[in-house]
Structure 1
Amino acid sequence: MIRLHHVPASRSFRVLWMLEELGLEAEIVTYAIGDGSLRAPEVLALTPAGRVPALEIDGQALFESGAIVEYLAETRAEAGLGRPVGHPDRGRYLQCLHFAETQASLIENLNLSHIFLRPPARPSIPVLKITTARLKATLGALERLLEWRDHLLGDFSAADVMLGFNLWAAPRYVRMAPFPALAAYRDRLAARPAFVAARAKDGEQDFYDREFYEILDV
């Protein structure tokens, strides 16, 4: 039995998508942000920070989406989604896997400022502007990379699962018109049968309440 502990539209979608790419069936246990369910002792025993994803697989429990995606790619190497030691793309592959979390941490900070910090807390406008600018810079780096590639390494890989996921949250904070290559890349990812299957199992997110979050300097 494979069991995924999951919040819809969160980083755990990366693992759900990766499982679909590998053709692995999993039981999905769904939680909501903010209702306290992620602080239950049985959840903290699997993921000590009370965060998703956590994946029960191969007789163990794993947490951290990057670690899980990398583990799945390496232990199911026949699918060709990883880049093993000695592969010429190994360095770029690892770089993309970990750059995904650099970008995601910026999105997370914007989520906190725009959504999860309620009044009387007031986000710092300069910090919002700086974080948004940094997120836009990461998108620009990906745009340049994807102007001449269909995927991050040419062929689809686990790196696309890690970084591609971010392209469903980043447009909440950065206008995507300057990034046509990223828009086309996102469309390619969304058309993958495994992505479609994962999205059908994902569930509906309940934290974003608008398509775009403006920085209101008030």
Structure 2
Amino acid sequence: MIRLHHVPLGRSFRVLWLMEELGLDFEVAYYSIRDGSMRTPEFRALSPAGRVPALEYGDRVLFESAAILQWLCETHPEPKLQPTPGEAERARYLEFLSYSETIGCLVENLNLNRVFLHDPADASPVVIKLLTARLRAALKAIEERWAQDYCLSTGFSAADVMFAYGFELARYYVRFDEFPKLQAYWDRLKERPAYQRAKARDGEQDLYDRDFYPLPEA
């Protein structure tokens, strides 16, 4: 039995997408980040920090999306979605796994300031502008170096699942017409049948109440 504990549009989408790429048969247990369902003792037994993803795989329980993706790629080596140690693309693969969390941390801090404060007036316009500028700079750095179809020259890999997930959230804070190469890359990924199956199972997100959050004027 494989069961993914998942919040729609959460980091657990990475695991959902990868398992569709691997052709696995799995269940999805849905949660909301707003209703306290991830703060129960039962859920914390699966994920100590009370966050998704958590993956039950037989008698094993795993948490943290990058770790889960790497473990799944090792457990299911076909199709090959992860270069092995010693291969030429291994270093670049690991770089993108980590850079994905650079994007993710910036988005998470923007979420805290723009989505989750009980009183929006408590947010600092200066902090929001700084975080948005850092997010834009992090994306621009890759845009300027992008010269291939996927993260790796060898083709699609789990690095794309990790990295491009950040676009799902970054688009609420930056305009992707600033990054035409990354937009074309993301459009190409969204055409993948496994991505489309994953989006069909993702569920209705309740994180954002608008399509875009412009910079505060003050």
The alignment's TM-score, normalised by the length of structure 2, stands at: 0.96
C-alpha distance in 1 between matches for 2:169 and 2:83: 26
Matched, 1:216 2:210: no
Residue 169 of structure 1: SS of its match in structure 2? helix
Deviations 1:10-41 (A, max 9, x none): 10000000000000011100001110100111
Q: Share of identical aligned residues, percent?
A: 53
Matched, 1:25 2:12: no
Partner deviation per Cα, 1:162-198 (whole Å, 9 max, x = no partner)? 0011111111111222210011111111000000000
Deviations 1:92-137 (A, max 9, x none): 0001011101110100100111110121751111111111111001
Q: Which amino acid aligns with 1:44?
A: R
In structure 2, the partner of 1:85 is 85
Pair 1:113 & 2:147 matched:
no
Task: Please give the per-residue CA displacement for 1:125-163, whole angstroms capped at 9, x wherever unaligned.
Answer: 1111111111001111221232x2000102000000000
SS at match of 2:4: strand
Secondary structure in 2 matching 1:116: coil
Runs (5+) with no aligned partner, structure 2: none
Number of paired residues? Answer: 217
Runs of 4+ in 1 over 4 A off after TM superposition: none
The code of the aligned residue for 2:151 comes to L
Cα distance change, pair 59–187 in 1 and its aligned pair in 2 (3 A): same
Does 2:192 correspond to 1:192?
yes
> How far off its partner does 1:58 sit?
4.1
| Equivalent residue, structure 2, for 1:127 | 127
Q: CA RMSD in A?
A: 1.1
2:113–2:128 contact (8 Å) kept in structure 1: yes
